[in-house]
Structure 1
Amino acid sequence: MIVERLIIADNQPLTAYAVEALSRSVAQEIHIEDLEIAYAQNKTQLNNLLRDGKKTAVVVDYTMFDFTNQENFTIVCDLYQNTSCWLLLSEELTPNFLRYVVYQTQNVGVAYKDASLDSMREALHYVMTGVRYISQQATQILLQKAAEAENRRDELTHTEREILKAIALGKTTKEIAADRFSSVHTINSHRKNIFRKLGVNCVHDAIKYALRAGLVDESEFFI
């Protein structure tokens, strides 16, 4: 998908103008004639621009924009998934948000404002041809966090590993408490500790860890 338009959604004028200048240069390299460039100062303006269905690349600084949370941001991205390719351009993204964007979206890439000029040109080349771009810096952060999570396996106590296995097998908190002759409060405390040690925020991610760590056999899980 070669885009017809680039939307710059960044409230820092210097950054926005620099992105525009670099984008026009990249557009010439990939033979995009008369690239339309538009600016959005808030989510409402961005939605209004995207509604016309034009093939669009969106460069946005999430931290400088008026999205209330990561879910709010990804809803907008998903809404225009067939007509837009996004590049998150920011100075800092939390590892949790970065992981969420990379694993929960299909059309959102990531680059950092302190990247080299060549890296920024590469990122814009990708997004303007409809290809998702994940920078090397973002990839390294994700790999580091994955390695840290894997190392946390040894930090789980025997009880926590058993409870994690029970969670992965689909048992409810009440069922686990009954099986272990414990209170629901105790199981919830173990559950919170497991999530904290693994660096996850939901049951789905905890189950994926349990499968990778061999705590649950896939044949058991899919029964």
Structure 2
Amino acid sequence: MKSLILADNQVATRLGIKFLAVESGKPASLIKEAENLHDLSAGLSDCPDAVVVIDYTLFDCTADQLWVLKECFPESVFILFSEALSEDFVRRMILGSVGFSLLLKDSDLSELLACMQSAEQGEQFVCAKVKGWLYSGEQHVSAGIPQLTATEKEILRSLALGKSTKEIAAERFLSVYTIMTHRKNIFRKLNVNNAQEAIRYALRAGIVNVAEYCI
């Protein structure tokens, strides 16, 4: 039986998954928790074939770092358990390797249990909601990710470059008040409290390109 590593910053989520795993027959001794990338790497070093349940949007890591971990521990299985992921990110991870599965946080219990069982057997699992558009050939904007307008995305990109509200207002020939209103709308849609959190969220979720912008 494979070890289970829970890499999720939300305590309630970790406890819930741990409870379900134990109820499904996994010994509690095989369940570990990782609060950061160092812990996750150490856990995989001890259990190279572990099943990793990770909330990519909130966990402090990048897609490239996940790929490095997967290459270092090829027998490991990653379950991307999140509520907001861009389509580009999903396609890169899911179609790039069967070692990555995807389960949205609004998936029902049956899908969660099916995903855990598939991971235990080393098989890829994609929840029905994502599978519906992932293999349909249709273009979809996101998998549950908050939608920003074109203007909001541009302002978020400017924030990622370290520009102030006054600088953004001057560049766009808008008032400072208007930019502040856009900022508030961005924070509300992303459910964050400040610009730093918004930028980090947007970079991980694929709203802005990590190759073009820096914090």
Q: Identify whether the pair has TM-score above 0.5, normalized to the shorter chain.
A: yes
Q: Shift of residue 108 of structure 1?
A: 0.9
Match of 1:78 in 2: 71
Cα distance in 2 for residues equivalent to 1:44 and 1:123: 25
Q: Shift of residue 35 of structure 1?
A: 5.1
Which of 98, 101, 104 aligns to 1:112? It is 104
Judged with a 3 Å threshold, the aligned counterparts in structure 2 of structure 1 residues 15 and 34 are, in CA distance, closer, same or farther, namely: closer
Amino acid at match of 1:19: I
Give the 5 Å matches for 1:1-223. Answer: 2-3=1-2, 5-26=3-24, 28=25, 32=26, 36-67=30-61, 69-82=62-75, 84-144=76-136, 146-148=137-139
Partner secondary structure for residue 77 of structure 2: strand
CA RMSD, aligned part only? Answer: 2.0
Judged with a 3 Å threshold, the aligned counterparts in structure 2 of structure 1 residues 34 and 44 are, in CA distance, closer, same or farther, namely: closer
Q: Shift of residue 95 of structure 1?
A: 0.3
Match of 2:163 in 1: none
Partner secondary structure for residue 52 of structure 2: strand
Show structure 1 runs of 4+ deviating over 3 A. Answer: 32-35
Contact 2:6 2:34 in 1 (8 A): yes
Amino acid at match of 1:76: L
Amino acid at match of 2:12: L
Contact 2:7 2:35 in 1 (8 A): yes
Cα distance in 1 for residues equivalent to 2:23 and 2:130: 25
Structure 1 unaligned spans of 5+: 150-200, 202-223
Q: Shift of residue 34 of structure 1?
A: 5.9
Amino acid at match of 2:127: S
Partner secondary structure for residue 89 of structure 1: strand
Same amino acid, percent of matched pairs: 24
* More helix per residue: 1
- More off after superposition, 53-62 vs 11-20: 53-62
Contact 1:86 1:109 in 2 (8 A): yes
Cα distance in 1 for residues equivalent to 2:122 and 2:8: 20
Judged with a 3 Å threshold, the aligned counterparts in structure 2 of structure 1 residues 80 and 141 are, in CA distance, closer, same or farther, namely: same
Structure 2 unaligned spans of 5+: 141-208, 210-215
Q: Shift of residue 75 of structure 1?
A: 1.6
| Higher Rg | 1
Q: Shift of residue 55 of structure 1?
A: 3.0
TM-score in terms of structure 1 length: 0.58
Partner secondary structure for residue 131 of structure 1: coil
Could you list the per-position Cα deviations for residues 123-146 of structure 1 after superposition, in whole angstroms to 9, with x for gaps in the alignment? 1111123222111112113135x2
Amino acid at match of 1:49: G
TM-score in terms of structure 2 length: 0.60
Match of 1:186 in 2: none
Could you list the per-position Cα deviations for residues 181-222 of structure 1 after superposition, in whole angstroms to 9, with x for gaps in the alignment? xxxxxxxxxxxxxxxxxxxx9xxxxxxxxxxxxxxxxxxxxx
